[in-house]
Amino acid sequence: MTQPRRPLSDAERLDWLRLIRTENVGPITFHRLLDQFGSARAALDALPELARRGGRTKPLRVASKADVEREFLANRKIGARLIAACEPDYPEALAAVDDAPPIISVLGHPHLLARRAVALVGARNASLNGKKFAETLARDLGAAGILVVSGLARGIDTAAHVGALASGTAAVVAGGIDVVYPPENEALYRDIVAQGVVVAESAVGTQPQARHFPRRNRLISGLSLGIVVIEAALKSGSLITARMALEQGREVMAVPGSPLDPRCQGTNGLIRDGAALVASVDDVLRALESLRPPSLGERQPDLFAGSRPRDPDEADLAEARALILENLSPTPVTIDELVRGCQLSAPVVLTVVLELELAGRVLRQPGHQVSLA
């Protein structure tokens, strides 16, 4: 994303909402479209033709102005703000993530998101000792001026929010900003709105589904300098968050536990693989000493920015589409591999991939990878 940091007008904000709520437009595609066309309005105008060139036969479902106006007003009604990724109040660490949400909904005290942050995540069925440690660690981190980020789930998340409530905590939710999940955390949610901040990517009223939680997890790590995993079984969601944190260049830390407890197999494995061991707040603060908050300047160069060919020759693009589709499979490959394997220019490959993605024929995967839908 190369857009300058500046406030949006309400009209621009509605255009951004329309674009990100449009079928087949995810965060990475959104930022690529913005880089190519300069504004969300221009990108919206270009979508139908791009999808048609990618082979789509039925009209692309573009979010209507009425729909996004309702979403805008629904946020305002509950006191939430919609903050775009180009705006000064958008968390800089999150803005540096390649698949940063173009717009987040924020309820409570958004200024807290400017603090250095650490995420605490772990088992939903956590032990009493695990929850006690999480609450103590969160309280100590808050006393040190660190914003504690977690996901409002049962177990470790709940304990972390409770521990950091007095100093400020950020809850990242999987559904809409107004949807509390699990329901038993309704009172805690209200307390966080009053004393901390709640962050959501999905539209108001969205009920959380299984596919929403990995997306939520990348926000938890993206907002943070590092994450601490406290009790996590093998193949748990917390380990997915740890993997995302590594991909984002964040510090991964873990609390050791008994090898006899399945809830500690994941954390012990992280330590074995090189995660920093955490026994107290001092271990976390020591790990953070050499870290700087991620910034937009640290994002890898975007090959897509400024690379759109002017008036590309349709015959050349048609030939490139056939070649790219021939070289793609359900197994993800990087854009760089596609450029080399097809022996095409990066601008042509990126243009064709965008068309195919909008047509629903190609899926964008983490790590600058794409695969056949």
What are φ and ψ of residue 247, in 5° steps?
Answer: -65, -30
3-state percent breakdown (helix, strand, coil) of the chain, nearest 5:
45, 15, 40
Residue 152 Ramachandran class (φ > 0 left, ψ -120 to 50 alpha, else beta): left
Closest CA to 306 of 42, 49, 34: 34
pLDDT value of position 316: 78
Residues 233, 256 contacting (CB under 8 angstroms):
no
- Consecutive 10-residue runs of the chain (373 residues): their mean pLDDT? 78 98 95 94 96 94 96 97 97 94 98 97 97 98 98 98 97 98 98 98 96 95 97 94 94 96 96 97 93 59 42 76 94 94 90 94 86 94
What pTM did the predictor assign? 0.91
pLDDT value of position 122: 98
Rg value, the chain, Cα: 21
- What architecture is domain 109-291? 3-Layer(aba) Sandwich (3.40)
pLDDT value of position 125: 96
The two tokens of residue 331 are: 């197994």
Same-fold call for 109-291 versus 314-372: no
Q: Is the peptide bond before 347 cis (omega within 30 degrees of 0)?
A: no
> pLDDT tens digit string along 333-342?
999 999 999 9
Residue with tokens 């790219």: 324
> pLDDT tens digit string along 49-86?
999 999 999 999 999 999 999 999 999 999 999 999 99
303 strand-pairing partners: none
The CATH code for residues 314-372 is 1.10.10.10
pLDDT value of position 302: 43
Residues 153, 124 contacting (CB under 8 angstroms):
yes
Domain residues of the chain, as ranges? Answer: 10-103, 109-291, 314-372
